[in-house]
Amino acid sequence: MAISLSIDCPSLNNTGLELSTTNVSEGSVVKLSCDDFGHKPSGGVREITCLTNGTWSSSIPKCEWSWDFNTEEKIIFGTSVAAVLFIIVVLIAIVVAYFCCYKKRKDNEEKLYNASYNSSSASPHGYDGPYNERDPYPVTYLAYQDSVHNGKYEMYANPGSIDKPWLGYIPRPKVSEGPFYT
């Protein structure tokens, strides 16, 4: 009776490869892949077989970056690139909108604000801001801040009040329900 001793191949654990099996006995076939995105086993080796002399049919490959993506990796890569480009386009649109529209409108409001108060009488102490001594009827009014005292406009000392001119009108309220008063 003949006793046959089987020789195992070296272990493939801790090689950075994803293995189909951890069986390292003679004749076992191990399919190889890499777990990291875009990486493939070097040399194009996809499977190795344990030979009778206790060695693998090919040298143990390492995982290397490859531009040869499978379908799933192509979808992930394409979606990631599209998302980054979308974010860049949105940021550019926000910056353009700020500098073209918001800043321009703010500058125009500031010019109108300055023009309405600079056309009033000048301050005797050189301050040419919006709160200098003005004529009794300035070009525009500060909403809720002006009061007439001795024929001149004075401002209430209320730091929380509005300091921009109100250039509109107060519309007449519309009555949609209830009795009409005559």
**Average pLDDT score over residue span 123-135:** 50
73 sits in which H/E element: helix 71-97
Dihedral, CA atoms, 106, 112, 113, 118, nearest 10 degrees? Answer: 140
Is it the case that residue 74 has pLDDT exceeding 60?
yes
pLDDT tier, 72 (very low <50, low <70, confident <90, very high otherwise): confident
Q: Given this model, what pLDDT does residue 88 score? A: 97
CB 17 within 8 A of CB 33: yes
Read off the pLDDT of residues 11-58 as tens digits, 9 standing for 90 and up: 877 777 887 887 788 888 888 888 777 788 877 788 888 888 888 888
Beta strands in 7-123 (DSSP E): 18-19, 29-33, 39-41, 47-49, 63-65
Fold designation for 18-68: Complement Module; domain 1 (2.10.70)
Domain ranges (residues) in the chain: 18-68, 72-155
